[in-house]
Structure 1
């Protein structure tokens, strides 16, 4: 069978789940086990979970000695369950970052399968399969499946809930109590993962549909939602609350209410009203970077949007637009912006894109959208590995062959997809893009990022400490100038984060067998303070690298008292 014939017949497979899981693993496993823990969020989540595992306290979330009152405990429970499960079968997982990434990997797989299986009611079986295949390689999802935090798991909960809501909207008379229970249960799990984000998506979609569906001539506030009773909110809302309420009550008691004050007043409102943690972005940023975040599917989705708007009177299209557009606009309005925030809208956008690609009577988009889509595809296909070739050369003054191979893979991918586009074989192009991008991602995720030694300061520093002082208890290690969560995960939450050089001298003077890592900016002050205390210090080695979060080079030297 020729490749083109295989791609044309693949959407009709009787085993869509098997093919999609295989695609996900091909896309996501490169780098999954080999990329070290990253700063900042991944290491914060993983270390907080490890402390749960070690202490047995699964209510309070702590990073070192500090309460982490930002997100609910759902993802920590999922990560903890994975770690306990692996250790129960003899796999040492507590200190391995990949174990904490497994809930993200599973969440991504569930989101892809839900897009396929629940999207059939909205766009048909063949288009739903293509949509799921388009979602799997989206760059933002590929990244999230490699990070041990909430967003891939949250996407799974939202995709399941919205897929079920779509069935209630299209056929409320056939929406069973079991489906309603699945809808509210998915939202309950979403609340336990990231608070109000999960129920916000169907709420915005429902309000939008109620406004759009009102009969002509009816006043604006007279909404129409004949599908709403099918959701059985009378017992569904309590079911959703039941998933999260016990932990919220427990954490409120355990922290004496501090969790709610910090999570709502400190974390959520800061994101809405200001660019929290230097992540500010202007309205329209997500649209501007869509060609990157949704690569390689973006060039098809962009072409589909004009036709989707023209067909907005069709119920399935209207539902998908109500799913994607309000959520997207809300995050565009929020001042804090990170690429993954709009991920809950991606399954709807992929379903719209696949619907257009599989429609023989598809509406041709304007020429400027064709041009924009082509630029997005070719630019990212070649630009992504090129960025890493340049980055490796700038940081390490050498060329990574795998990154160069990624450029060649990107060129081949772009050429083949453009040929399919000229033949108007858009369904084939959508599936081919998901397959052809595998070697490109592998060249970056497996062949380049894990081997950029200069940026992985924390694992190298931990390895150096293990060489000079095997089995050093974490509380006997202090560090100045590298207070990154990745170091806490590498060495333990009990390490001492010291303020400056004099604090390092004081730490060493406080007991025998201690080691301090001091950065180059504080080394002179440290030596002066040690001399004033009458300490004779010995240098045990140093580690130099690029702190990619702060964008500066740092040298950390290890010292002990002779």
Structure 2
């Protein structure tokens, strides 16, 4: 067989298949709350209002994050209409761009085979594939940080010409600026911290003279600063909340209740790099060593990649706020290290890795009969029953990919073995995601949308009493009036208290008044609140209900 990295037909087939599948499946699932519904609704409101400066959620000022993802989603809605795949298009593109850039950087820094392997590894890693299909900020941030990482690697490699070094470093600065617009100062802090620790570890003091600091900083601020200036001028309360509360307080304080065990990110790294877990440790260790015959090399890409992974994991481990998505930016670096290791790995190492995927596939098959035990609410057992065939198929695909890789390894067909593992991981992950749809629909509450729309009129008010339904609001296509609910709206409602009703008692007064005037209103609430309303003699008619929420009318 011709070497895979030089087989243009194979490369083009893999590329087209990867892009087509990745884009096609963006629309096969409902937007699952909270994150997917939240960021879709923010973009829908931006699209509807035409205000691209002040970000809002449910009509209330919402300054927890910068606007890049909201901009991109609103642009997607403008170009293609409002819908599920449009809301995921930006994250899907970021996932694809990350894979292509990682492959390109691997080819330029290590060679064409490593470049192919790097793209295959990242494009099939469970966590990267899954997050590229979820409308959240983590993939947007990771895509921009991948631009910064890969541009830095290509710019600093020993064979780079002065022109290449300048142009790629400017792209690196642009990537950091876009990362800041994606999720805040960590877009600069994380790459900056990596560079500092790499300098100390490699004793490469001269790297600071190769960063094009002057031009880079000008480009960085030209991209990142304008929105912060404009939003601060229009909303003077935004800078303190965003820079102090959302950065320093979130990192140092536990008020957000997002603590987790110190080892959580190590566990996520292990699970997230499947089907390459069997070579993870060896790849990390190899990055500590210099490339054979390169004792005089100025730049040590493997060490930079290792510092990138260790620093980001350590940074968020130290943080009081720990969410699973925080670790996502490390996976392009991990993919490059694994790809570099796979190029020279022994057949035994590759076979052990393939055997782990076989075991994982078998574990999925063995887990299927017990899936109904995951049901926590009434009726969810039927949803998990619908999910079982998909998990079964994922297990079969993973098992088949592992077995094929073992067969190819025995025949010393390394490229085919790597491709088999990548295809097994890629398709198994997509099957797991696609099959989640019945459960996602239940969590989002989309089954209630027709009943609600049939009841409301142009003069109707929709209330959310004691809760806020992130996805349901998006599918209804209109904000709701919050009642007795603050949570992430606390800061915004301090600025705009008239946009919510503080207590259930105050809500009841308005609810009764509208009923007496013949104005049809709807409320989305909990069963315990409905029981109390009935007990108090409040006019209530149940429009729709499920295990998570109840929709009532005042007429």
TM over 0.5, shorter chain: yes
**CA distance 1:497–1:389, change in 2 (3 Å):** farther
SS in structure 2 of the partner of residue 558 of structure 1: strand
Work out the number of aligned pairs and report it: 517
Q: Deviations over 1:3-32 (max 9, x none)?
A: xx4xx7322234787445434336534642
SS in 1 for 2:143: helix
2:155 is aligned to 168
How many Å separate the matches in 2 of 1:111 and 1:143?
13
Counterpart of 1:550 in structure 2 is none
Distance 1:18 1:505, change over 3 A: farther
- Say if 1:185 and 1:240, in contact at 8 Å, map to a contact too: yes
1:281 equivalent in alignment to 2:260: yes
SS at match of 1:187: helix
Alpha carbons 2:441, 2:447 under 8 Å: kept: no
Q: In terms of mean alpha carbon deviation, does 147-156 or 9-18 score higher?
A: 9-18
1:433 Cα shift?
1.5
Distance 2:125 2:46 in 1: 32
Per the alignment, in what secondary structure is the counterpart of residue 323 of structure 1?
A: helix
User: Residues 135-158 of structure 1: CA distance to partner in whole angstroms, max 9, x if unpaired?
Assistant: 012222222212223222222222
Secondary structure of 2:261's counterpart equals: coil
Residue 329 (structure 1) shift: 2.2
The secondary structure found in structure 2 opposite 1:32 is: helix
In structure 1, C-alpha distance between the alignment counterparts of 2:142 and 2:396, rounded to whole Å: 32
Structure 1 counterpart of 2:188: 199
Q: Which residue does 1:210 correspond to in 2?
A: 199
Higher percent of residues as helix: 2
SS of corresponding position for 2:554: strand
Flag structure 1 segments of 5+ consecutive residues without an equivalent: 87-92, 215-223, 546-553
1:412 corresponds in structure 2 to 400
**Alignment correspondent of 1:322:** 307
SS at match of 1:70: coil
Alignment of 1:516 with 2:516, yes or no, is no
Aligned mate of 2:425, from 437, 441, 448: 437
Could you say what the CA RMSD is over the residues aligned between the two structures, in angstroms? 3.0
**Structure 1 residues 73 and 404: CA distance shift in structure 2, 3 A:** same
Contact 1:480 / 1:517 at 8 angstroms: preserved in 2?
Answer: yes
Are residues 1:58 and 2:52 paired? yes
What does 1:300-311 align with in structure 2 at a 5 Å threshold? 300-311=279-290
How far apart, in 1, do the equivalents of 2:545 and 2:185 lie? 43
**Preserved contact between residue 392 and residue 452 of structure 1 (Cα < 8 Å):** no
Instruction: Go from structure 1 to structure 2 and tell me whether the alpha carbon gap of 1:419 and 1:332 turns closer, same or farther (over 3 Å shift).
Output: farther
Task: Output aligned runs, 1:92-171, within 5 Å.
Answer: 93-94=81-82, 96-171=83-158
Q: 2:99·2:122 contact (CA, 8 Å) conserved in 1?
A: yes
Q: Match of 2:320, SS?
A: coil
Equivalent residue in structure 1 for 2:535, among 528, 533, 558: 528
* 1:399 aligned partner: 385
Is contact 1:291–1:377 with CA below 8 Å preserved after alignment? no
Q: Structure 2: which 5+ runs fail to align?
A: 485-502
1:255 and 1:376 mapped to 2: Cα distance?
53
Tell me what 1:353 maps to.
338
| 1:127 to partner: Cα distance | 0.8
CA spacing shift, 1:473–1:276, aligned 2, 3 Å: farther
Q: Is 1:498 equivalent to 2:480 in the alignment?
A: no
1:335 alignment partner in structure 2: 320
SS in 2 for 1:497: strand
2-structure distance, mates of 1:326, 1:457:
36
Determine the structure 2 residue equivalent to 1:217. none
Which residue is equivalent to 2:270? 291
Deviates more, 1:402-411 or 1:289-298: 402-411
Q: Are the aligned partners of 1:209 and 1:318 in contact in 2 as well (CA < 8 Å)?
A: yes
Identify if the C-alpha distance between structure 1 residues 463 and 379 changes in structure 2 by more than 3 Å, giving closer, same or farther: farther
Partner residue, 2:454: 467
Q: State how far apart, in whole Å, the 2-side matches of 1:172 and 1:462 are.
A: 59
The 2-side partners of 1:453 and 1:39 are apart by 8
Deviation at 1:438, TM superposition (A): 4.0
- Do 1:479 and 1:504's aligned partners in 2 also have CA atoms closer than 8 Å? no
Q: Deviation digits for residues 420-453 of structure 1, max 9, x if unmatched?
A: 556665543332112123442343222x211237
CA distance in 1 between counterparts of 2:338 and 2:459 reads 51
Residue among 68, 78, 81 paired with 1:74? 68
Question: Are the aligned partners of 2:527 and 2:550 in contact in 1 as well (CA < 8 Å)?
Answer: yes
Report if aligned partners of 2:525, 2:550 keep a CA contact under 8 Å in 1: yes
Query: In structure 1, what is the Cα distance between the partners aligned to 2:506 and 2:370?
Result: 39
